[in-house]
């Protein structure tokens, strides 16, 4: 059965253009699924029933896997069976009647405007690395791009005349995101001064470089964030994705429309963006409780 999984993953690469991270997640989920059904004594993929799929999902849940992760596994299996039907490998779909488990919406962690301002002040501009870090943090907050998108930026992704980024997101889909005056100035100073020194005379297309003159990794950037969170004295848990959440929340709090925020974040489905309206409503409730005499 594993060769069917490989065929499906190749299909996703060629036909769907899914990101490497998504493909790796699907590969883990589907190989774990095949391993489970084979241990149950099933060798032919056409013999798998809906009861087998439900048993697999129950096994995941019983092993402490989060509901969201269980749902992702089911989504991977659904896509797999759609592929098998299209290729005439199976005649019936055993997951057709299985519903996704309800996932309670967890509100993302965000920083307030003042907390974000304190954090953005931490790197400074005294050294090439400090100037780089300031540019990265400002750009991340100004655009809401993902960390993977940030560290992958190349010089051609910047339109210096119009002050916007051309971001290549999930599924190799491009989107245009305005940079904003403050982030643009920081980025320009970094490119004109610090980046030249960090590149050590090498011809490098990646924008944000490490001490060796090569591109940063996501893990490297995560260490940078942790350093400045500690320096800022913030007690909240702050992750690189917190910048993206804060970007969307602050835009909506300022009156931006949901559709525009969706486009800038690169969400295919607006329902993904709607979680941030829940964040702003929760914050309004908090303000009301704090300041209203009957709150």
Q: Note the pLDDT tens digit of each residue in 149-159.
A: 999 999 999 99
4 is catalytic: no
Sequence-distant (≥ 6) Cβ neighbours of residue 91 within 8 angstroms? 46
148 and 269 in contact (C-beta within 8 Å)?
no
Question: Is 146 an annotated catalytic residue?
Answer: yes
Q: Cβ distance 179 to 164 under 8 Å?
A: yes
Catalytic residue among 32, 78, 241, 283: 241
Confidence tier at 275 by pLDDT (50, 70, 90): confident
Residue with tokens 């996501």: 218
pLDDT score of 218:
86
How many whole angstroms separate alpha carbon 110 and alpha carbon 245?
Answer: 6
Distances (CA, A) of 165 to 73, 126, 150, 179, 191: 34, 26, 10, 7, 15
pLDDT value, residue 179? 94
Look at 29-33, 42-46, 146-150, 156-160 and tell me which has the smallest mean pLDDT.
42-46
Give me the catalytic one of 72, 132, 245, 267. Answer: 267
- Specify the DSSP class assigned to residue 155: G
pLDDT of residue 264: 92
Alpha-carbon Rg for the chain in angstroms:
23
pLDDT (mean) for 114-140: 96
CA distance 131 to 143: 18
Q: Is 292 a catalytic residue?
A: no
**Known catalytic residue at 106:** no
Flag the least confident range among 23-27, 113-117, 127-131. Answer: 23-27
pLDDT beyond 90 at 278: no
Q: How confident is the model at residue 18 (pLDDT cuts 50, 70, 90)?
A: confident
Contact 265, 273 (CB under 8 A): yes
Given the residues 72, 146, 195, 245, select the one marked as catalytic: 146
What gap in Å lies between CA 192 and CA 277, rounded to an integer? 39
Domains of the chain: 2-86 (1.10.150.130), 113-291 (1.10.443.10)
User: What pLDDT score does 103 carry?
Assistant: 43
Side-chain half-sphere exposure of 29, counting CA atoms within 13 A: 24
Phi/psi at 158 (5° precision): -105, 130
Segment 229-257 shows an average pLDDT of: 90
Catalytic residue check, 170: yes
Please check the confidence at residue 221 and state whether its pLDDT lies above 70: yes
DSSP 3-state assignment of 174? strand
Q: Which of 172, 181, 126 minimizes the C-alpha distance to 149? A: 172
Which residue out of 170, 175, 189, 283 is catalytically annotated?
Answer: 170
What pLDDT, on a 0 to 100 scale, did the predictor assign at position 205?
Answer: 92
Q: How high is the pLDDT of residue 112?
A: 92
pLDDT in tens, 201-211: 788 899 999 99
**Phi then psi dihedrals of residue 179, to 5 deg:** -90, -40
């Amino acid at each position: 059965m594993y060769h069917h999984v490989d065929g499906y993953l190749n299909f996703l690469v060629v036909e769907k253009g899914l990101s490497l991270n998504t493909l790796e997640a699907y590969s883990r989920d589907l190989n774990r699924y095949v391993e489970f059904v084979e241990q149950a004594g099933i060798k032919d993929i056409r013999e798998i029933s809906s009861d087998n799929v439900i048993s697999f999902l129950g096994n995941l849940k019983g092993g402490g896997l989060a509901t969201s992760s269980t749902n992702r596994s089911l989504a991977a299996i659904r896509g797999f069976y759609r592929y098998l039907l299209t290729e005439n490998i199976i005649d019936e779909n055993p997951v057709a009647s299985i519903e996704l488990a309800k996932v309670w919406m967890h509100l993302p962690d965000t920083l307030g405007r003042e907390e974000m301002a304190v954090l953005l002040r931490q790197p400074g501009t005294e050294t090439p690395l400090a100037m780089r870090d300031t540019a990265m943090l400002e750009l991340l907050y100004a655009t809401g791009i993902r960390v993977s998108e940030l560290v992958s930026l190349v010089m051609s992704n910047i339109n210096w005349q119009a002050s916007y980024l051309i971001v290549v997101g999930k599924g190799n889909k491009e989107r245009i995101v305005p940079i904003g005056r403050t982030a643009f100035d920081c980025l320009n100073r970094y490119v004109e001064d610090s980046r030249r020194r960090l590149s050590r005379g090498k011809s490098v297309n990646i924008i944000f470089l490490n001490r060796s003159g090569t591109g940063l990794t996501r893990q490297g950037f995560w260490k940078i964030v942790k350093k400045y969170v500690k320096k800022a004295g913030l007690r909240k848990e702050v992750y690189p994705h917190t910048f993206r959440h804060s970007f969307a929340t602050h835009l909506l709090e300022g009156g931006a429309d949901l559709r525009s925020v969706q486009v800038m974040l690169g969400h295919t489905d607006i329902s993904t963006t709607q979680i941030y309206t829940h964040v702003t409503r929760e914050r309004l409730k908090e303000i009301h409780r704090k300041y209203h005499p009957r709150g």
